[in-house]
């Protein structure tokens, strides 16, 4: 496979992953804000423990990536390699939390349909915004699982950028063997 193809696949999978890594905590925090503002006796968070587990997952991933980027002086090569290595355990934990979260919170806003129709008569205290934030939260959670799984498969099959591709991308060149570059004279 060519370098351009690997970089294209890396971009197609990597950019949505980075965006989802940032959007998931934002929408979980928004969900907390809306649910706690509009909570009534009829509507409670299905399970506060799973909400906090998901919140911790969504906040810890971007935090660890930022710390990793800072520690590695924002070098793209090291960042991508670290992300390739750490994504599998992150995705496994995320998948367990996502399945638990989806099962536990499925009846969270009953009798409102989960797709949040605009022509539905919402009960007292629940707005369409609350319903849509909850829906977007679930969609982003599962999109992260999808793109993370595709990233892991692409890494397994070798269709993500290689070390040499990343070195060219960042402008630093080094040779694998110990011989000097061909333009150096002895």
Helix (H, G, I), strand (E, B) or coil at 108: coil
- pTM exceeds 0.85: no
Please state the rounded mean pLDDT for residues 1-25: 88
Please state the rounded mean pLDDT for residues 163-176: 52
Task: Say whether pLDDT at 19 is over 80.
Answer: yes
Task: Say whether pLDDT at 149 is over 80.
Answer: yes
Domain ranges of the chain: 3-170
The whole-angstrom separation of Cα 90 and Cα 61 is 8
- If one compares 176 and 59, the residue with the highest pLDDT of the two is 59
Task: Say whether pLDDT at 160 is over 50.
Answer: yes
The whole-angstrom separation of Cα 173 and Cα 186 is 20
Q: What is the pLDDT of residue 174?
A: 46
What is the residue-averaged pLDDT of the chain?
A: 78
Instruction: Give the model confidence (pLDDT) of 30-89 as tens digits.
Output: 988 887 766 654 455 556 788 888 999 899 888 887 777 777 666 666 666 777 777 788
Q: How many other C-beta atoms lie within 10 A of the C-beta of residue 72?
A: 14
Cβ contact 126:109 at 8 Å: yes
Q: Which two tokens stand for residue 68?
A: 């990793």
Please state the rounded mean pLDDT for residues 104-120: 83
- The closest of 152, 168, 122, 162 to 13, measured between CA atoms, is 152
- The closest of 137, 156, 131, 122 to 55, measured between CA atoms, is 137
Q: How many other C-beta atoms lie within 10 A of the C-beta of residue 181?
A: 8
Percentage of residues in the chain having pLDDT higher than 70: 73
- If one compares 144 and 186, the residue with the highest pLDDT of the two is 144
What is the C-alpha R_g of the chain?
21
Q: What is the pLDDT of residue 178?
A: 46
Q: What residues have CB less than 8 Å from 75, skipping those under 6 apart?
A: 170
* Backbone angle region of 113, left / alpha / beta, with phi > 0 → left and psi within -120 to 50 → alpha: beta
Q: What residues have CB less than 8 Å from 155, skipping those under 6 apart?
A: 84, 87
Terminal CA-CA length for the chain:
35
Using 50, 70 and 90 to split pLDDT, how confident is the model at 105?
confident
């Amino acid at each position: 496979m060519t370098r351009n193809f690997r970089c294209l696949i890396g971009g197609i999978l990597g950019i949505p992953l980075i965006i989802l890594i940032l959007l998931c905590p934002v929408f979980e925090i928004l969900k907390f804000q809306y649910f706690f503002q509009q909570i009534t006796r009829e509507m409670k968070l299905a399970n506060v423990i799973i909400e906090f587990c998901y919140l911790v997952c969504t906040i810890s991933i971007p935090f660890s990536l930022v710390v990793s980027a800072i520690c590695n002086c924002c070098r793209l090569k090291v960042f991508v390699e670290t992300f390739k290595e750490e994504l599998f355990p992150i995705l496994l934990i995320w998948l367990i939390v996502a399945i638990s979260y989806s099962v536990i919170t499925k009846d969270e806003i009953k009798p409102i349909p989960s797709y949040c129709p605009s022509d539905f008569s919402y009960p007292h205290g629940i707005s369409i915004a609350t319903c849509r934030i909850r829906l977007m939260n679930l969609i982003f959670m599962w999109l992260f699982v999808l793109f993370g799984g595709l990233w892991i498969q692409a890494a397994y099959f070798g269709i993500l950028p290689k070390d040499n591709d990343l070195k060219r991308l960042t402008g630093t060149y080094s040779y694998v063997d110990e011989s000097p570059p061909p333009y150096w004279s002895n």
